[in-house]
Structure 1
Amino acid sequence: PLTTGLGEVYQFTVEGEGYTPMDLRTILDWEIAYRLRSVPGVVEVNTWGGKAQQYHVVINPPSLIAYRLSLASVFEALEKNNANVGSGYMERNQEQYIIRGEALVSSLQDIENIVVGHNREGVPIFVKNLGMVEKGSMLRIGAATEDGRHETVIGLVQMLAGANAREVVERVKAELCGLSTIGPNSSIACCAP
């Protein structure tokens, strides 16, 4: 990112009763970080702690054999059904609107219902017919703790090189205070004054 070693300007934790570290990491990665990246002067928001959520497709090899499908066909179906596609723009009232198709899966059921192939009668064969889909996490390469007692999830805001740090931090704090949509029991706790 377009920042310097001195660009790390604000650090905060994400806390919420009843949420796992994976839940908090997901909230930070997909909701809070996106909002903060829209703040003028913010170039990046890094995440530490928690587990990064991932969907795991566990294939049953005998099912592949029974349906006469390959593992490559499963990979291909998963990739095709989870792709973003740009398709140009349209003009209306002297404004340009970008058109794109987003096919991102958002649930276990979305993945289970992806068609991998068809049997001889033309009946679709779904991922759920070939194995199971479960929520898991990426391989961990680190963790963050609070006072050495329990795991926490930390966000680190990086400032655009050349921006005014005081102004960026004030805008970040204002944005964090405005976050009320992340859950009924969640709160953003600031680690920096």
Structure 2
Amino acid sequence: MLCFALLAHQDEKALLQQIRNIRKYNGHHVKIVLYNGGKNPNFGKKVCKTANVMYCPHSRPLAWGKTGRSHYDVMRWLEENKVKYDYLAVLDSDVLFVRGGLEKWLEKQLNGYDCVLPVFRHETAPETTTWTPGTTMWKEWSRWKPFFNSSHFYGTFNPLQVYRHGIIRSMLARIDKSKLERLLRDTKVFALDEMIYITTAVLCGGRCKEY
């Protein structure tokens, strides 16, 4: 069972079209959960009701480039509510089309792996990276290093990161929730969602693959 975590913040007509596209090309059995990152607390609620989409109540306003907590909020809400799924695929509001065959393709890609990502990079030292999100993480590494309990971290590109449910359970068990909340409140790391989840997955023993 494939579940899409959909981050959106405006334009309910576009949101509804995105949901219709996902269902048309991937089947009506797929699950979708909306994270409302906009300032309007009612955004998407009507669409979710009419389109049979779950709404994440942990949603909150997020700024561009500072959407790092949305995956965590969705993951923990799905777990709190014992939602059944096999794979969680992350989408942004600008991904309007996901072609047919994705679920079967993911089953093949995930054979022997816990997550698949469009990019898989290993960050070992600040002087060796020219990747903008990575450079912002290195600037705060003294604060994030104790959270990861690691001397290095990993990176990817955000849309269509896909994680098995099993590795998500391990990730949530590893995360120090109070420490993470403090870091999320104060961090200036850009595109944190391209680092925190893949790093946590690998540190949990997850086998990750670039596609």
Q: What TM bracket, shorter-length normalisation?
A: under 0.3
Greater RCO structure (CA 8 Å; 6+ sep): 1
With normalisation by structure 1, the TM-score equals 0.19
Q: Which one has a larger percent strand, Structure 1 or Structure 2?
A: 1
Q: Which one has a larger percent helix, Structure 1 or Structure 2?
A: 2
With normalisation by structure 2, the TM-score equals 0.18
Greater Rg by CA:
1
